[in-house]
């Protein structure tokens, strides 16, 4: 084996990596995601909060008003809390760098990302079909709707892996 064929050594965890790992594995919020039913409830709340935030932004754009943006700002704190609970439930599976995960966790993360990619692809294909039909009918100004749909598609692409990971997370083993 030559020098070019030797694999590069794995990068050692940085201070940031250790700090994020400790943050994602804290136990204070464990009661919020201790069971599968609670995790489903948090995922559902996160989906609803995301939809409300996207809807308020869409209303602000469509009506040219600023009050829906204040609604969006008001929803930001509960949305962040739900995101933190989901990250805690998954122990930072999607947030931590690969060097902080073991082989099982990396495989699980890859599987979740692949499933999320498939879901997002189907949603984008459905959205593209709707816009093609709307454009063919000529009843709507598609450019305004398209900009909103692109922002929603970005949010869905970003959040579906977190939602799937939250739904697929396993219960913690009972402590003796």
Per-residue model confidence as pLDDT tens digits over 111-133: 999 999 999 999 889 888 888 88
Per-residue model confidence as pLDDT tens digits over 130-158: 888 877 887 666 666 777 788 888 899 99
pLDDT number for residue 116:
95
pLDDT number for residue 139:
64
Phi then psi for 166, rounded to 5 degrees? Answer: -65, -40
CB-CB contact of 32 with 85 (8 Å): yes
Per-residue model confidence as pLDDT tens digits over 88-110: 999 889 998 888 888 999 999 99
Q: What is the rounded distance in angstroms from the CA atom of residue 68 to the CA atom of residue 63?
A: 9
pLDDT number for residue 173:
67
Highest mean pLDDT among 17-26, 29-38, 46-55, 120-129: 46-55
pLDDT number for residue 73:
94
Least Cα distance to 54 among 160, 122, 150 occurs for 150
CB-CB contact of 37 with 109 (8 Å): no
Is residue 18 scored above 70 in pLDDT?
Answer: yes
CB-CB contact of 29 with 88 (8 Å): yes
Residues of the chain with pLDDT > 70, as a percent, come to 89
Least Cα distance to 86 among 17, 160, 166, 174 occurs for 166
The pLDDT mean for the chain works out to: 86
Residue 17 CB burial class (10 angstroms; 0-12, 13-18, ≥19): middle
pLDDT number for residue 3:
55
Q: Is the pTM of this model over 0.95?
A: no
């Amino acid at each position: 084996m030559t020098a070019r064929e030797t694999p590069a050594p794995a990068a050692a965890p940085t201070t940031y990596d250790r700090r994020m790992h400790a943050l994602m594995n804290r136990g204070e919020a464990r009661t919020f995601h201790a069971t599968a039913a609670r995790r489903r409830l948090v995922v559902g709340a996160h989906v609803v909060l995301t939809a409300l935030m996207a809807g308020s932004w869409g209303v602000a754009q469509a009506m040219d008003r600023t009050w829906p943006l204040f609604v969006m700002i008001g929803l930001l704190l509960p949305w962040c809390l739900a995101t933190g609970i989901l990250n805690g439930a998954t122990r930072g599976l999607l947030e931590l760098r690969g060097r902080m995960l073991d082989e099982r966790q990396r495989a699980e993360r890859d599987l979740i990302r692949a499933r999320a990619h498939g879901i997002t692809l189907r949603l984008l294909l459905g959205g593209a079909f709707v816009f093609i039909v709307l454009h063919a009918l000529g009843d709507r100004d598609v450019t305004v709707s398209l900009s909103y749909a692109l922002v929603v598609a970005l949010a869905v692409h970003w959040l579906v892996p977190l939602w799937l990971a939250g739904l697929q997370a396993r219960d913690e083993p009972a402590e003796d």
